[in-house]
């Protein structure tokens, strides 16, 4: 590696290391879907958590697992059963896609979720960020997530001011998010981004690694915009 590349990589490595350390000290560790590498359970939690608070999801998550303990059980259910159990959680297209995805996993993948984010993203209802989260948590794939909360974190950390409604700017943020990925500890890093996005407030959180530049080393913003 050339010296300029090494100099550019150092701040990014520091960002990942600091975020991982913050997550281990201040992040969330007791949520039920954090105690498993089962892609079915992680996928279920990721879909339920879309536009829904953790406190609301917890009860639904447990009831779903009691009724549909694995992807085959969910695939075999009727859509009416799935929608009835989802009732009250809102955004019902998620439940329909959940059912379709379970059926696709059984019919096309023998009941086993694909291990790569690119393949997961081809399944019904699984977008790029959700696919990345499943692949990172369950299979250790080094891949970036970029949901709404994470976008807020990274635009702040990177000083990114592009309009994310424009596809070119969103692609640029995806590229920068990928450049920030650590070579080790992808699970803690990914969870750290999620925890930070869920807990940091607009004015800064006292335990947040973005609260004050002295406490949290930011990546070199100029190098990230090349």
Provide the annotated active-site residues.
46
Do residues 41 and 65 touch, judged by C-beta distance below 8 A? yes
Do residues 86 and 95 touch, judged by C-beta distance below 8 A? yes
Alpha-carbon gap, residue 127 to 97, rounded angstroms: 11
Q: Which residues contact 48 (CB under 8 A, 6 or more apart)?
A: 57, 60, 61, 64, 89, 94
Do residues 192 and 27 touch, judged by C-beta distance below 8 A? yes
Residue by residue, DSSP assigns 97-125 as: HHHHHHHHHHHHHTT---SSHHHHTTSTT
Do residues 189 and 12 touch, judged by C-beta distance below 8 A? no
Alpha-carbon gap, residue 67 to 59, rounded angstroms: 13
Nearest Cα neighbor of 64 from 24, 94, 105, 37 is 94
- Token pair recorded at residue 65: 């697992």
Q: Which residues contact 184 (CB under 8 A, 6 or more apart)?
A: none
């Amino acid at each position: 590696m050339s010296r300029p590349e090494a100099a550019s990589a150092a701040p990014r490595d520091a960002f990942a290391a600091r975020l991982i350390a913050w997550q281990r000290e201040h992040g969330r560790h007791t949520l039920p879907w954090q105690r498993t590498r089962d892609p079915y359970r992680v996928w279920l939690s990721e879909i339920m958590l879309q536009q829904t608070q953790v406190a609301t999801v917890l009860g639904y998550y447990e009831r779903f697992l009691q009724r549909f303990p694995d992807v085959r059980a969910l695939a075999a259910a009727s859509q009416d059963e799935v929608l009835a159990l989802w009732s009250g959680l809102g955004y019902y297209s998620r439940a329909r896609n959940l059912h379709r995805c379970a059926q696709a996993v059984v019919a096309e993948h023998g009941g086993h979720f694909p291990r790569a984010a690119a393949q997961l993203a081809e399944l019904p209802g699984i977008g790029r960020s959700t696919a990345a989260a499943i692949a990172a948590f369950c299979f250790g794939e080094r891949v970036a997530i970029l949901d709404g909360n994470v976008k807020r974190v990274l635009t702040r950390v990177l000083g990114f001011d592009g309009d994310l409604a424009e596809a070119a700017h969103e692609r640029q943020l995806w590229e920068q998010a990928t450049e920030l990925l650590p070579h080790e500890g992808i699970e803690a890093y990914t969870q750290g981004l999620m925890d930070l996005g869920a807990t940091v407030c607009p004015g800064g959180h006292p335990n947040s690694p973005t609260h004050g530049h002295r406490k949290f080393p930011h990546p070199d913003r100029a190098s990230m915009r090349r």
